[in-house]
């Protein structure tokens, strides 16, 4: 499972205080980072309740590793490569064809573990961009004036995942946006996002130039700038935000495994951090890299509690 927690800048101090209070216990006073197994259940529930009041937005991507056999991952990986190459025959410029072929080759060479991690992380970022913008433009449009991404750095040295993520994620996001276009609703005011929106006539014309595909250019998001404009891999010990996300995602995973004494209370609070998904689907994505399997009754009940308590996307 991977997760992201989007938070308005005005709520950042409240998040810092909530995380600092967890470290205030005498037994943890010298600790720079707190893990979920170090918290009493009552402490964790109180922490979630504080986060609910900050008007943040939780996004999760979950997959059952037990179902993701190497053969199924390889089949999914081949399908993703095929999607990247789908329109290569329409490209009119040789350099463009070579770039797409190189991207497909890089995706095809990823190890199964790295491919699953990368694909889930890219899906997660797409969920953040597609839903957080629509949610906050109605309630707090000023907070969309800048996007700052802070990602958990696993090692001091740059990992293979971080290298692949930086190189491949913008191109994969762009590919996803073709099949699942990002929505911008005419009635909403996106003016605070102007640095991330192509001005009329300024959007790239590569789809028309390379593929012969006509798209409406006005209002298109500059995904490259939105993602790469302010992104850092950080040691979680130096970031209250990353520590909070780690505690949240650990709680979602533990709850789905029925690891709390009061799983229903935790599921309710986690749901209040989530945002309603398009077509009123569950507020967090459950991916299968092959054949899926139904949830057991108790897990399905907890997912439904999160679903029922998720925040409405459209403001009344």
Mean pLDDT of 113-133: 90
pLDDT digit string, tens, across residues 221-251? 788 788 888 888 888 888 999 999 999 999 9
CA distance 43 to 49: 10
CA distance 134 to 137: 5
Q: What is the DSSP string of the chain?
A: -EEEEE--GGGHHHHHHHHHHHTTSGGGTT-S---GGGS-HHHHHHHHHHHHTTT-EEEEEEE-GGG--HHHHHHHHHHHHHHHHTTGGG---HHHHHHHHHHHHHHHHS-HHHHHHHHHHHHHHHHIIIIIHHHHHHH-GGGGG---EEEE--SSSPPHHHHHHHHHHHHHHHHHHHHSPPP--TTS--GGGGGGBPPTTTS--HIIIII------TT-B-HHHHHHTTEEEE-GGG-HHHHHHHHHHHHHHHHHTT-STTHHHHHHHHHHHBBPPGGG--SSEEE-SSS--PPPHHHHHHHHHHHHHSBPSS--
Question: What is residue 177's predicted lDDT score, i.e. its pLDDT?
Answer: 72
CA distance 264 to 262: 5
pLDDT digit string, tens, across residues 203-224? 655 555 555 555 544 457 788 7
Give the position of tokens 């302010």.
230
Residue 102 phi/psi, 5-degree rounding, is -65, -45
Note the pTM of the prediction, 2 decimals: 0.85
Beta bridge partners of 57: 6
Question: What is residue 297's predicted lDDT score, i.e. its pLDDT?
Answer: 95
Averaged confidence pLDDT in the chain = 85
Residue 159 phi/psi, 5-degree rounding, is -90, 165
Question: What is residue 217's predicted lDDT score, i.e. its pLDDT?
Answer: 45
Question: What is residue 273's predicted lDDT score, i.e. its pLDDT?
Answer: 97
Q: Hey, where are the domains in the chain?
A: 2-309
């Amino acid at each position: 499972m991977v997760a992201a927690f989007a938070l308005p800048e005005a709520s950042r101090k409240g998040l810092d205080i909530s995380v600092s209070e967890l470290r205030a216990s005498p037994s943890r006073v010298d600790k720079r980072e707190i893990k979920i197994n170090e918290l009493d259940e009552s402490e964790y529930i109180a922490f979630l309740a504080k986060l609910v009041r900050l008007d943040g937005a939780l996004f999760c991507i979950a997959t059952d590793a037990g179902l993701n056999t190497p053969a199924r991952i390889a089949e999914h990986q081949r399908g993703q490569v095929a999607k990247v190459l789908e329109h290569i025959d329409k490209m009119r410029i040789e350099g463009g064809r070579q770039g797409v072929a190189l991207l497909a080759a890089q995706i095809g060479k990823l190890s199964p573990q790295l491919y699953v991690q990368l694909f889930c992380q890219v899906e997660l970022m797409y969920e953040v961009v597609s839903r957080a913008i629509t949610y906050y433009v109605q309630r707090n449009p000023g907070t969309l004036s800048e996007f700052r991404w802070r990602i958990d750095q696993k090692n001091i040295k740059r990992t293979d995942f971080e290298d692949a993520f930086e190189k491949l994620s913008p191109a994969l996001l762009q590919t996803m946006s073709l099949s699942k276009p990002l929505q911008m609703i005419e009635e909403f005011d996106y003016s605070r996002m102007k640095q991330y929106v192509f001005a009329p006539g300024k959007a790239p014309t590569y789809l028309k130039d390379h593929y012969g595909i006509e798209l409406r250019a006005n209002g298109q998001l500059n995904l490259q700038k939105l993602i790469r404009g302010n992104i850092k891999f950080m040691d979680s010990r130096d970031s209250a935000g990353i520590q909070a996300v780690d505690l949240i995602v650990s709680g979602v995973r533990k709850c789905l495994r029925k690891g709390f004494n009061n799983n229903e209370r935790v599921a309710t609070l986690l749901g209040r951090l989530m945002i309603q998904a398009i077509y009123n689907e569950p507020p967090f994505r459950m991916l299968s890299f092959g054949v899926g399997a139904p949830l057991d009754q108790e897990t399905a009940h907890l997912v439904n509690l999160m679903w029922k308590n998720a925040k409405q996307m459209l403001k009344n």
